[in-house]
Structure 1
Amino acid sequence: MQPPYKITSEILQLISNISQKIGEVNASYLIKNNPQLRKQNQIKTIHSSLSIEGNTLSEEQITAILENKRVLGPQKDINEVLNALKIYDQINKLKFTSEKDYLKAHKILMTGLIENPGKYRIKGVGIVKGSKVEHIAPPAENVPYLMKDLFYYLKESSELSLIKSCVFHYEMEFIHPFKDGNGRMGRLWQTLILMKEFPLFEFLPFETLISKNQPKYYHALSQSDKEGHSTKFIEYMLGIINDSLSELLQNSVQKLSQKDRILIFLENTHRDFTRKDYMKKFSEISTATASRDLKFAIENGFIQKFGDKNSSIYKKAVK
């Protein structure tokens, strides 16, 4: 059965904005050709997703753990980071339509943190905020059937990945299939659904914006609970994704090194080119910066120059 939701004008506008920004990121190959940016964004993703769950480690400490350096901190928090690094290392091997992979991912994320990781809960649970019960999850005996239906929806639905990922995230949180780790699994699986169509989502830290204003995240979940469909949560998550892409576009080009720009340009150029062609790719740089980039590329053997001044033509160096 298809989970209920409505397509609103806000959802349509956000999908249009997101699609345009994905095109801009892909056109610039900002993620693909910048390993340092990929690493930084993955650390931000892990830090933000875990901090939402109460983890106290900083981005610097997570970086140190990634580099096998000793870190002082609560052992539970360190274990959470080690588990998260392990799952992101394997994320490309997971199938978003596979319930078996889903349980495997939970086992990796929660090993050493709870009993029976990778197994659905066998007791009832409720979500409490302060002294108030916010949500009573479905009975434990219904969980396997509800999750099977949800994965059937993932396999059979022809919906846009952007919508499908939000619907799964909300419905999974509603079912609350695990004793613990539901929030991080919802965010992880939304990422997995999106990155199978748009690889850049592997390195888009949209969790950062969620962690900056967690009450809005929980409010969107609560609103959808009250209305009986995921519309409000879809609007909220698409807004988060849209804002995250805007941040990526604003910050990434500024952080590209001279060499990064040259390599990005040459990977996607299959003919002779001029300085003007180069500047079309990086419209935010000045003429002087473009000239310095091309001089650097000549000196380091990336390209060859023919002609002089404004009539100069550049060719990829033959290796």
Structure 2
Amino acid sequence: MAKPIVERAPKFSMKDFDFQKVEDIFHDYAEVDDKGRYLHWSVLKWRLPQNDAKRIWSLIKFKRTMQVKYLHITDDNEELFYYCIPHSMEAKLHKVIQIAGGSIASVAGNVASDNIQKKFLVSSLMMEEAITSAQLEGASTTREVAKKMLEDEREPIDEDERMIINNFLLLKHAEKMKNENLTLDLILDFHRIATLHTTENNVVPGEFRKNNDIHVRDYQGEVAHQPPCYKKIEERLFDLCEFANSDHSGAEEASPFIPPVIKAIILHFMIGFEHPFRDGNGRTARAIFYWFMLKHEYDLFKYVSISKLLKNDPKGYGLSYLYTEKDNNDLTYFIDFQLDIILAAFDELQDYLKVKTDEFYQVVELLDDSRFSGLNFVQKDIIKKATKEPGRIFTVKEVSNSYAISDNTARKNLNALVTEKLIYSLKDGRSTNYISSNNLIQRLSAKKIRKV
């Protein structure tokens, strides 16, 4: 049998802690290292004097325990889950709350100056999250093909594409249900949407697993996590729903304050830990995370894709689960990792918006001609796409979905561009396709030169 990737941390108990044994090193070690990292025993032990590692670990655990917040959630051995917020994590949490509590305008500047632009951004970025969430679970469809499928509402040709469509519908449903409490029915509803018409691991959409033959393996093929018994699923998820729906605003002494971001991350973890379904647990967990953030009016999360970054670091994602499970249910490892992911996602959002803004205004500059001064945002953005992809085919359905406008409005926008001879129309049976010119940029540039 291969050696476990993560060694279980030595057990720690406050009643067994001997201050005198660590008095000489008490001020030398903190709950985090000098770089602010909250390290697990299996990583930390190699950074400590080998003949003194367990004694130092005992001191570090003592300092962590002094900051612990216990939750009314237990593992299958009735041991409580808990977390703490060391100073390095406090800074991350503050930054997440500060950014997430703002508006898209605070991140995007003037790129989202009107309602149509905002709807366009939501739709576009929701597609990105749906695609990468499916890719994280093993879907192999390329991003370009997947996005075109979502825009055109094309029927999926295989299970990979089906997963992506399901994820897109799942995110839209999570937003729709943001004012509802978390219930078993809602969890099952999320799962049903995520796995409809898929067959991986013999999954039954909207139904809990019926046995214990499901487990999580690491990259060595070894069992990394055995979820709690299937007979306990409903009872345990009912307790999780009570936790989700409880008031943790700090208004009641019996329910201490838990920041909504932390609580959303905990819900994400617990669905993965319980693994209540044969397949689709990750997608359901991430949907519940988004649902909870939107429920607490962190609307910026409509524009943020965490799955893309989780996909880029699957090892870190898996280890954050293992560190928690192999250190007496300390959720701090998972929370800290997810805060880093969220902050990185905010950075990616800013970069994405900057690129889109620059691209948009490049086209606006090309269209800076009195003849085109009346073009609206949708029309200018279509031209932007047309200049990037000569020969691209636009459909009414795609434009309607991309900009959250009616089919009739989409058709009017496209026909206006045909009238201006910026794109061409071509009948395809009873429908009409709209095609970008191969030399659109040259044509627009030539018009500017003639004007000068």
> Which TM bucket (shorter chain)?
0.7 to 0.9
2:24 aligns to what? none
Evaluate the alpha carbon distance shift between residue 96 and residue 211 of structure 1 in structure 2; reply closer, same or farther with a 3 A threshold. Answer: farther
Query: CA–CA distance in 1 between the matches of 2:154 and 2:105?
Result: 39
| Contact 2:275/2:281, CA 8 A, preserved across alignment | yes
Residue 140 (str. 1) matches residue 223 (str. 2): no
Q: How many residues align?
A: 268
- Amino acid in the other structure paired with 2:194: L
Please point out which of 121, 146, 166 is paired with 1:83.
166
Deviations 1:112-158 (A, max 9, x none): 22443111112112212233110111111111111011110011141
Please point out which of 221, 226, 233 is paired with 2:321.
221
Query: CA–CA distance in 1 between the matches of 2:241 and 2:156?
Result: 40
Alignment of 1:282-301 (within 5 A): none
Query: CA–CA distance in 2 between the matches of 1:71 and 1:142?
Result: 38
Query: CA–CA distance in 1 between the matches of 2:156 and 2:226?
Result: 37
TM-fit CA distance, 1:300: 5.5
- Amino acid in the other structure paired with 1:51: Q
Q: Structure 1 stretch 56-65 or stretch 174-183: which is displaced more?
A: 56-65
TM-fit CA distance, 1:182: 0.6
1:269 aligns to what? none
1:189 aligns to what? 288
Evaluate the alpha carbon distance shift between residue 256 and residue 131 of structure 1 in structure 2; reply closer, same or farther with a 3 A threshold. Answer: closer
Query: CA–CA distance in 1 between the matches of 2:125 and 2:184?
Result: 27
- Amino acid in the other structure paired with 1:139: C
TM-fit CA distance, 1:35: 3.3
Any gaps of 5 or more consecutive residues in structure 2? 1-71, 74-80, 249-257, 377-452
Please point out which of 123, 132, 138 is paired with 2:211.
123
Query: CA–CA distance in 1 between the matches of 2:311 and 2:339?
Result: 15
TM-fit CA distance, 1:229: 2.3
Give secondary structure in 2 for the equivalent of 1:134: strand
Q: Structure 1 stretch 17-26 or stretch 28-37: which is displaced more?
A: 28-37
Please point out which of 331, 336, 361 is paired with 1:230.
331
TM-fit CA distance, 1:93: 2.2
Q: Structure 1 stretch 144-153 or stretch 16-25: which is displaced more?
A: 16-25
TM-fit CA distance, 1:72: 8.1
1:110 aligns to what? 195
Evaluate the alpha carbon distance shift between residue 119 and residue 9 of structure 1 in structure 2; reply closer, same or farther with a 3 A threshold. Answer: same
| Contact 2:310/2:317, CA 8 A, preserved across alignment | yes
1:36 aligns to what? 120
1:61 aligns to what? 145
1:268 aligns to what? none
Query: CA–CA distance in 2 between the matches of 1:19 and 1:78?
Result: 34
Give secondary structure in 1 for the equivalent of 2:207: coil
| Contact 2:306/2:341, CA 8 A, preserved across alignment | yes
Q: Radius of gyration: which is bigger?
A: 2
Q: Provide TM-score, normalisation by structure 2.
A: 0.54
Evaluate the alpha carbon distance shift between residue 172 and residue 157 of structure 1 in structure 2; reply closer, same or farther with a 3 A threshold. Answer: farther
Query: CA–CA distance in 1 between the matches of 2:154 and 2:210?
Result: 37
1:155 aligns to what? 245
Query: CA–CA distance in 1 between the matches of 2:154 and 2:288?
Result: 30
Deviations 1:19-72 (A, max 9, x none): 232355445374664333323311221111111111001111112221336588
Indicate the percent of aligned positions where both proteins have the same amino acid. Answer: 22
2:91 aligns to what? 13
Residue 243 (str. 1) matches residue 352 (str. 2): no
Deviations 1:256-275 (A, max 9, x none): 37999xxxxxxxxxxxxxxx
Give the aligned CA root-mean-square deviation in angstroms: 2.9
Query: CA–CA distance in 2 between the matches of 1:246 and 1:42?
Result: 17
Evaluate the alpha carbon distance shift between residue 301 and residue 79 of structure 1 in structure 2; reply closer, same or farther with a 3 A threshold. Answer: closer
| Contact 1:49/1:184, CA 8 A, preserved across alignment | yes
2:268 aligns to what? 169
Evaluate the alpha carbon distance shift between residue 249 and residue 29 of structure 1 in structure 2; reply closer, same or farther with a 3 A threshold. Answer: closer
Deviations 1:171-197 (A, max 9, x none): 111111111111111111111111222
1:48 aligns to what? 132
Evaluate the alpha carbon distance shift between residue 218 and residue 157 of structure 1 in structure 2; reply closer, same or farther with a 3 A threshold. Answer: farther
- Which of structures 1 and 2 has the larger relative contact order (alpha carbons within 8 angstroms, sep 6+)? 1
TM-fit CA distance, 1:204: 0.7
Q: Structure 1 stretch 1-10 or stretch 57-66: which is displaced more?
A: 1-10
| Contact 1:194/1:201, CA 8 A, preserved across alignment | yes
Evaluate the alpha carbon distance shift between residue 63 and residue 4 of structure 1 in structure 2; reply closer, same or farther with a 3 A threshold. Answer: same
Evaluate the alpha carbon distance shift between residue 71 and residue 163 of structure 1 in structure 2; reply closer, same or farther with a 3 A threshold. Answer: same
| Contact 2:224/2:322, CA 8 A, preserved across alignment | yes
Please point out which of 101, 116, 123 is paired with 2:186.
101
- Amino acid in the other structure paired with 1:168: L
2:4 aligns to what? none
Query: CA–CA distance in 2 between the matches of 1:42 and 1:26?
Result: 14
Q: Structure 1 stretch 31-40 or stretch 235-244: which is displaced more?
A: 31-40
Alignment of 1:203-218 (within 5 A): 203-218=303-318
- Amino acid in the other structure paired with 1:232: Y
Evaluate the alpha carbon distance shift between residue 97 and residue 301 of structure 1 in structure 2; reply closer, same or farther with a 3 A threshold. Answer: same
Evaluate the alpha carbon distance shift between residue 258 and residue 240 of structure 1 in structure 2; reply closer, same or farther with a 3 A threshold. Answer: closer
